[in-house]
Amino acid sequence: MGPVSDVSSRRKRTYELENEQEKGCGENDQLKLPCFREYKLDELRASTGGFSVENIVSEHGEKAPNVVYKGKLADGDRLIAIKRFNKSAWPDTRQFLDEAKAVGQLRSQRLANLLGCCCEGDERLLVAEFMSHETLSKHLFHWESQPLKWTMRLRVALYLAQALEYCSSNGRSLYHDLNAYRILFDQDCNPRLSCFGLMKNSRDGKSYSTNLAFTPPEYMKTGRVMAESVIYSFGTILLDLLSGKHIPPSHALDLIREKNFQMLTDSCLEGDFSNDDGAELVKIASRCLQYEPRERPNAKSVVTSLITLQKQTEVCPFHDNGCKYLAIILLNSLSFQMWTSELQDALNDRKRGDTAFRAKDYNAAIESYTSFIDNGTMNSPTVYARRCLCYLMNNKAQEALGDAMQAQVASPNWSVTLYLQAASLFSLGMENDAQEMLKDGSMLEVKA
């Protein structure tokens, strides 16, 4: 595909996403949600099995002792999330009801929408859509099998920005403690912003409990947050998505100023995205993290910038080998149970290989990576690259060269594979060939 075709494709995708944004934000008839209403305490108690410990999906610490439960109402199959506040959190009954009703008017495919509330005696509860695939924090920081794919990270960034723009355009520009725990995945694995953060004393702008290293500068000076503070918090999430870690903004900005932003990128994403896309995401994040609030972009501007990075219409939910499309193909050749068993075995082999690699036990790493490759369920350029390095450390240059070439086949645009081939060729005494391979790697890196 030539340059003209690339531009045409990019424009088409931008148009599709802009249309998707327009139809995806705010149509209650499309969402098929019930109107906001007040629930009875007995009704919510019954839906959670008497607020049973088994139905707790998240808890908070001593500073904010409230709990979120999973529940199901007796009159339907819809699962709900119920946030039960500490008794002292909302002493003013009228303020709680007014805030809940205002947030409950919002309806968007980018939100985990508020369905209702309960205010009886000292009890203060919120009822929202239940998101079945947990939080961004889990999939980004605490993954067990494979890291969150780059395409999904870009989708999280865009959908979150669209959610913030929708809220802002509907008079709810303040969002408190925006972080990776506030982003949830629905049954279709689409990211959504929790509505609960729109509720926390959001009129006075005084409530903020995040770690001070991640707090907007203006809050440190005045004790208050504003719409621009939300953009600052959004910038910290962009850093999370880029790095796979929770990095303090001050440290990240120092790396960006020193042109060392490659150190921010998640090593698990090697070969998964271009340098240009990574640099653009860093640029957007640095704009959001400006010290002066007036120098930060608004949500609409951020959405426009992020749309240009969305290059895939279909995004696998979390992992390449876990999406439903691949499952459909596999079901034609073997039972789903057999495939999932083989997949888990392969993932365990890779995990053991990675553990041995980090411990510099290269023989054990080779054994586990070989088992992963021989399983044949997945094709990973990173595994070939790491086994190549293990072979080089064991003075097995010929085997290393073979793995470097296999990694290139799996990921043709990954310059690291050419550098690995050059290292292998040097070890084999083929210096002229190695020099040529280094040049090819440098040229590919410039094009990436």
Dihedral angle, C-alpha 294, 296, 299, 304, nearest 10 °: 130
- Give me the DSSP letters along 70-135: EEE-TT-S-EEEEEE--TTS---HHHHHHHHHHHHT---TTEE-EEEEEEETTEEEEEEEPPTT-B
Residue 186: active-site member: no
Residue with tokens 């789903």: 336
Helix axes 299-307, 275-288, angle to 10 degrees: 180
* Rounded distance between C-alpha atoms, residue 246 and residue 263, angstroms: 14
Q: 388: Cβ–Cβ under 8 A, 6 or more apart, which residues?
A: 400, 401, 403, 404, 407, 420, 424
Q: 96: Cβ–Cβ under 8 A, 6 or more apart, which residues?
A: 90, 117, 119, 124
Residue with tokens 């839906």: 47
Q: Is 156 helix (H, G, I), strand (E, B) or coil?
A: helix
* Rounded distance between C-alpha atoms, residue 303 and residue 169, angstroms: 13
Q: Which of 438, 412, 348, 422 is nearest to 388 (CA)?
A: 422
Considering only the C-alpha atoms of the chain, give the largest distance between any 2 of them, rounded to a whole number of Å.
82
Residue with tokens 């007036």: 294
Q: HSE (CB half, 13 Å, CA atoms) of 382?
A: 14
Tokens of 94: 């009228």
* Parallel/antiparallel/unpaired status of strands 37-38 and 114-120: parallel
CA distances for 110 relative to 13, 26, 247, angstroms: 19, 9, 25
* Rounded distance between C-alpha atoms, residue 129 and residue 39, angstroms: 14
DSSP secondary structure code for residue 198 in this structure: G
Classify the C-alpha dihedral 99-100-101-107 as positive or negative: positive
* Marked catalytic residue, from 177, 240, 272, 403: 177
Q: Which residues are catalytic?
A: 177
